Structure 1
């Protein structure tokens, strides 16, 4: 396992605390957060950065900033189809939809507008790092316009209503929301009309996620339950059940579906933290079968965990910690830790997002086997890189093998064997 501690992984600094991160395109990451409605002078909103690689390290350039007035962005998700891009954000107890349009600008002004332009431009242009090194060239840059659209109240807790988590189905037909009123709501997308109400939890929802391969939805809440749902039938499929260490109580903090490599099904990954008198016990990263709710693998941590991400191909997981601000990357098959970045942030990690690697996605090219973005309330956007493990060339391995056999023969002859 690799182990590093440095501050060279900082990609960008913003002037407000960060609570959510997601890829907007295959080269652009959007982060959201803010200081809330209090008059502290701390802004609320989004910032979009373009990610590039100069052959040695990752770089980030801010391309768009959008402020949301007094409403802090506590969570959001993005969705893009062939014609449109959207941001669906949780702001207080409302679900706010934003339309996102792309603009290609040059030194002489705006050249074109539209999401189709974004796709073509990303496919054809040179790496951003090269553009930045020659400011005399008439380089094109992709920017975004974020426009508020529909908004709907999505949490109805009478005392302190708050939308805590929001996710869009990979098909783009449904949105799921959960908050302090204990209910999971399904909405038609993008109309935001009510589709279903899922009642199974008794305390506020902490996290939820859709499967990319079927119609399953997993939810976790402060009642300690993890529930798998059929989101089309609005019915419970199973509960996540496991034998907790004796004398302890655990709460599931985060949940994500992840595709199993070379298989046509997904697993569920969760974070479980001890609570109450068991706070000194270890936390868990867990792997489950979604159809039965059976726990199949787990690994332990010495502190509480706060963030979880799964790469788009399902090969790697990333985990962020609560107290030390550390980030680790794990192989999803075995949950083995393959990279640990201690003290990646000065405060707890609030979000993680892998750079995508799908073959048809025109992603950032680098010399890394995996790269994950992390954010925190310390205002930093960081990137953590798992480099390919060093190997020796085949010809050198053959030479070593032949030399070993020859020396063994000589030694045996010398001994008369």
Structure 2
């Protein structure tokens, strides 16, 4: 049975708009995005950046930046670190808006004496940094730290002193139209950037797969890939292939060198029922870019009340290897950067589960992590080139977001290969066996 969530896990932050996309901006900075749309609802649209750390007991988040995007809700985005500045490509209705993300080192300790960090609100995990626009207008609420006790300022401050914090400036750059549906309102549904940083792919309601050079954002290929809207895309780790899935129930792998179809994902659906692929993600095997698997989630069509979703594993040639059933429809999928773990989020109960990638054995289950469907998942990285991973006592940790405005974290405790009592019995048995052997040979 998979372990349940530890008491110290759960709510990291709450913003004042629905959340649709999440990613790691650096090895310790979370980027989330969403909004309420262009209607006069008073619900904001934009991005939030949080700095994440572990205080020895649990994960904590500190608000770093809030950037509002006016009337444009951010439904999807992709990030790429480009050395001295990063790139953020955000889906805003039928367009993809690029932003430059400029990091800089915050003031050192001497300067901080004149501009101190505010004391964390008691019962709060989110601390707002003084001088960065993180006041009450930011829409971030204070959150319970999982123990129901006030957080100690000294422990949090000591952790922050171990590294110099970053601040970020987000600046709008180029924008391109990526969807051209003529029968109704066009909408970009997904954007992805290749691992080598040379290509960007977009998909939306018109079913076209568009490949762009990056970061120039000039159109290189326009493929009529699907008859209905594209739900998800992902580049293979070696940047040679691209998988696309759509509401036309197809999952297709494309050869980027030729622009031709390489493989169609085919699997024998249970009882010949119709299933729709929902999300797709590639994952490496032992962090090797040329050795990888493809993961997908699929949901049944038109079986309300009898929903059983599937988590599937495919080899690099698009052959189905494993599939496990889940007792409800699935909404989100993530694979850790080293390919060892996979996470899924559910549609109705707002639950999150974590699996071992090679066997699809469930190792963690968090029921009702959110009050509504999980819109995004992202593992904390362990092979990120932008900085060292966050030190903690966990084997893996995954972030989750939802339209309930919450940012949560769920961690897998370090697993022992053998229970302690078995190890003790084994050692006693070995000592006894050695004693008997020595007695037998007269030593």
* Common topology (TM > 0.5): yes
Does the 8 Å contact 1:187/1:194 carry over to 2? yes
Whole-angstrom CA distance in 2 between matches of 1:408 and 1:327: 52
Distance 1:250 1:408, change over 3 A: farther
- What whole-Å deviation, never above 9, does each CA across 1:151-202 have from its counterpart, x for those lacking one? 0000001211000000001111110000000111011111111110122210
| Matching residue of 1:15 | 16
Matched, 1:151 2:175: yes
- What whole-Å deviation, never above 9, does each CA across 1:326-369 have from its counterpart, x for those lacking one? 00000000011000000000110000000001186411111100
Distance 1:42 1:227, change over 3 A: same
Give the RMSD, CA atoms, in angstroms.
2.7
CA shift for structure 1 position 316: 0.2
- What whole-Å deviation, never above 9, does each CA across 1:40-85 have from its counterpart, x for those lacking one? 1111000000110011111110101100000000000100122320
Does the 8 Å contact 2:249/2:275 carry over to 1? yes
Does the 8 Å contact 1:5/1:343 carry over to 2? no
Matched, 1:232 2:235: no
CA shift for structure 1 position 396: 3.6
Matched, 1:142 2:166: yes
| Matching residue of 1:85 | 86
| Matching residue of 1:272 | 298
Distance 1:23 1:407, change over 3 A: same
Matched, 1:108 2:133: no
Secondary structure at the aligned position of 1:60 is classed as strand
Whole-angstrom CA distance in 1 between matches of 2:27 and 2:160: 27
| Matching residue of 1:25 | 26
Secondary structure at the aligned position of 1:345 is classed as coil
CA shift for structure 1 position 393: 9.4
- What whole-Å deviation, never above 9, does each CA across 1:296-341 have from its counterpart, x for those lacking one? 1000011000000000000000000000000000000001100000
- What whole-Å deviation, never above 9, does each CA across 1:207-249 have from its counterpart, x for those lacking one? 0000112411000000000000012321110100011112411
| Matching residue of 2:144 | none
2:361 to 326, 336, 340: 336
Whole-angstrom CA distance in 2 between matches of 1:240 and 1:51: 37
Distance 1:337 1:138, change over 3 A: closer
Stretches of structure 1 that go unaligned for 5 or more consecutive residues are 112-128, 410-417
The TM-score, its normalising length taken from structure 2, stands at: 0.82
Matched, 1:382 2:383: no
